[in-house]
Amino acid sequence: MNSAMHKPARRSALRWMAMAACSLAVGTASAQTGTTADVEITLLHGTKGTDAIPPSWPELKDPPFNAYNHYEILSTKTLALKKGTATKESLPDGSSLEATLIDIAPKVKLELILKDSKGAQVSKGTYSSPKGKKFLPVSTPYKGGSLVIGVKAL
């Protein structure tokens, strides 16, 4: 066989490998520069009743959340946030939560905006938390009690 016939195939293979290596390097660089983060959102309904605080949320025993002594976890969901892009989550009372990742180092930094069912802003704040730590940034009236939003950076 003529060796000239193998050169195009060899060049194509080398180009493919080089492109694959570049794609892998770009993907790794994106992950290392902190463009994404996962955040767990837990919705809790607080009411007055028999004492019941979820063991995973002892913060609910402290003011102002201790105004209610009975909390039920309504849902837990993981949001994949991309830096600079708002992610909207609908809440059971018709309101919504918008979460925007600002930074991930040295702590996860988020902007959270709570909007009522008509889209009017009710609350806005920037929060910074180390990965694995939970916090309770906001609550809103709900079914004779309070809808509390719990956040944990994963």
pLDDT digits (tens, 9 = 90+) for 88-97: 999 999 999 9
Confidence of residue 74 (pLDDT cuts 50, 70, 90): very high
Q: What is the pLDDT of residue 34?
A: 66
Q: What is the SS3 string spanning the chain? A: CCHHHHHHHHHHHHHHHHHHHHHHHHHHHHHHCCCEEEEEEEEEEEECCCCECCCCCHHHHCCCHHHCCEEEEEEEEEEEEEECCEEEEECCCCCEEEEEEEECCCCEEEEEEEECCCCCEEEEEEEEECCCCEEEEEEEEECCEEEEEEEEEC
Closest CA to 101 of 116, 111, 88, 90: 111
- Please report, rounded to a whole number, the percentage of residues in the chain having pLDDT higher than 90: 76
Q: Is a pLDDT exceeding 60 seen at residue 127?
A: yes
pLDDT digits (tens, 9 = 90+) for 33-67: 568 999 999 999 999 999 999 999 999 999 999 99
Domain ranges in the chain are 1-33, 34-153
Which residue shows structure tokens 């694959």?
20
**For residue 110, how many C-alpha atoms fall within 13 Å in the half-sphere facing its CB?**
32
Which residue shows structure tokens 């902007």?
111
Q: Is a pLDDT exceeding 70 seen at residue 22?
A: no
pTM over 0.95: no
Q: Which of 28-37, 70-79, 115-124, 145-154 has the lowest mean pLDDT?
A: 28-37
